[in-house]
A and B are shown apart, each in its own frame.
Chain A
Amino acid sequence: MTPVVEVSELSKHYQLRGRHAGVVRAVDGVSLSVGRRSTFGLVGESGCGKSTLGRLLLRLEDPTAGQVSFDGRDWLSQRGEPLRRARKDIQAVFQDPGGSLDPRRTAGQTIRDALRAHGQDTPDRVADLLRQVGLSPDIARRHPRQLSGGQRQRVTIARAIAVEPKFIVCDEAVSALDVSVQAQIINLLADLQAGLGISYLFISHSLAVVRHIADQVGVMYLGRLVETAPADRIFAAPAHPYTAALLAAAPVPDPAVPPAWRHLGGEVPSATALPAGCRFRLRCPRAEAVCAAEDPPLHALSAGHAVACHFPDLFPREGHVNE
């Protein structure tokens, strides 16, 4: 089956002027595909380009280079009215539901706005949508300030699914929520996928969160996809040292679990002054001369598993029984 979204060699470079002149390679030649009814979890630290990639897919920004095909058609060449109509197929859910809801419009009005924009307004639809995201239809009369953080995020999800999209970009969609509520929203997204067949690009800084929703995981570092693998594979045997370090640094709520890996030193270099060769080599415990000379391309290790590293290793994680 063809993927819903196919990204190939996508780049977004920003030109900086003045004292900090240079080129920021926010996204630099990323290729990935998102399957039908499936979730691609995109993980990385701040500044890695994961949100920019999401914005490129949403056509909120235009890429510097590369292609995106959506449902088998070229998505980047769409313009004007056809683009406006096609936008209903790709929706978004962002981190801060307070910031992405109009404070002066009730939940019901917000959802109707989305329906009207695509000529789908019918009277009962709002109540149905609210029920679908686990809210009582009475919520329709409330303003965002009268809702909890979790309820607000449910409203933005109701708005996103209102126009029956095929694909939703979820950018840190559960990051601002309390732990007890975060789990509710992750489960809701999974249920909606099962029921409606939507695909997600699920962008998150947290590998632990992504693990609970993604089928395929991609790890970004300084604009590059450094590793991608099926979720069970990447958590059991990460091949890139950066993926391994991210896993090791993820806090575990159990004082009896010793840190599995020495903590990564250093910090992410400036995006305008990337090191030559591999971008990770300055923090990498296994860097050698070749890493400074050659930028490692993403190459396949096994089905669905690819890594951009000169010395990939299947770091088997001790005691990990998920294989």
Chain B
Amino acid sequence: MGEGTLLEVRDLTISHRGAGLVRDVSFDVGPGEVVCLVGESGSGKTLTGRAVLGLLRYASQLRVSGTIGFGGRDLNSLPERELRRVRGAQIGMIFQDPVAALDPVIRVGSQIAEALGARRSAARVTELLTQVGITDPELRARQFPHEISGGMCQRVLIAIALAGQPRLLIADEPTTALDVTIQAQVLDLLAALRRERDLSVLLITHDLGVAAQLADRILVMYAGSIVESAPAAQFFAEPAHPYSQGLLRAVPRVDVPLAGRLPAIPGSVPEAADRPPGCPFHPRCDRALDVCRTRPPELEPVASGLVACHAVNVPAAQP
């Protein structure tokens, strides 16, 4: 395991009846680093996050291979009993729908206490609720999930995730179900936690605007593979992969002057079972070459990071 690496995913492949849902995904997350997996539906970003926590073990139709190095061990080959000590304690997770992730018939405080385990105390529950920015924590601890708002439920889930004092937080679309003013508050909270606790975050999102607010590094996934990896500043200034470029152009935004029509990417993301041969993006790509139709590109270094694209990589090799 490399110096300064907390999570080291190597060659993660997840398949379903022979169709590769996630293919040869490798990436690192360093201490205190926020790495953002960006992609549209069907890109494999959520499966990747779940595989890190070993949550796909009982999905009998899925085959998971590769290694997930964390704290000097491979989580993918760890027995379930030992993995349970990692889950929740060293790696926390929050999901998209905060209301569904809480037990509707148990008071909020009891759910946090459960996560605290042997170290539970009313004072510690109050402290955690305060840390995630919930005012009047004693009252909130006595309430049921349906009595509090969605934004507050997500704060409670973050409190539960923090209860074990994890080093890594996996956040899968943590603000997608929230209103935009509440989303801004939750993103501020995640940024503060990362600053104050040196927490590493694997943020999974479809929203490039959310990614821009938190990420140190961006990994773009398309049809099961990472197609670009770059530091956030470089990525947003000069995305290298044609898909990344198209995606960034297609985002409606409020901060730049309108320049005519919104540039769309033609077509749609292929289903895992009918991905085209070669580069999975080539049917939608305006820079596709002949080679793109036959040979899948590999991630290769460019100035800003790594890019899997023949059109980007080939000209550099043959100047």
Contact = CB atoms under 8 A, between A and B. Distances in A.
Interface stretch (B47-55, B242-250, B300-308): B242-250
Interface of B: 40-41, 149, 151-152, 179-185, 187-188, 206-213, 215, 232-233, 236-237, 246-248, 250-255, 257-258, 261-266, 268-269, 284
A255 B180 contact: no
Contacts of B284: 180
Given A45-B180, A253-B253, A212 B258 contact: yes
A127 to B, nearest CB: 21
A79 interface: no
Interface of A: 45-46, 148-151, 178-184, 186-187, 190, 205-209, 211-212, 232, 235, 245-257, 259-260, 263-265, 267-268, 320-322
B254 A179 contact: no
Cβ-closest 8 pairs across A and B: A251-B209, A183-B264, A180-B265, A178-B40, A45-B179, A253-B208, A208-B252, A249-B184
Contacts, number: 141
A255 B250 contact: no
Given A205-B179, A263-B188, A267-B151, A256 B206 contact: no
Given A148-B268, A149-B41, A246-B180, A251 B207 contact: yes
Contact of B181 (A186, A254, A257, A263): A263
Contacts of B187: 251
Contacts of A206: 180, 252
Contact of A150 (B206, B236, B268): B268
Contacts of A150: 268
A41 to B, nearest CB: 12
Contacts of B266: 184
B262 A186 contact: yes
A247 B181 contact: no
Contacts of B268: 148-151, 178, 180-181
| Most chain B Cβ neighbours within 10 Å, of A190, A207, A249 | A249
Nearest to A180: B265
A209 B40 CA distance: 17
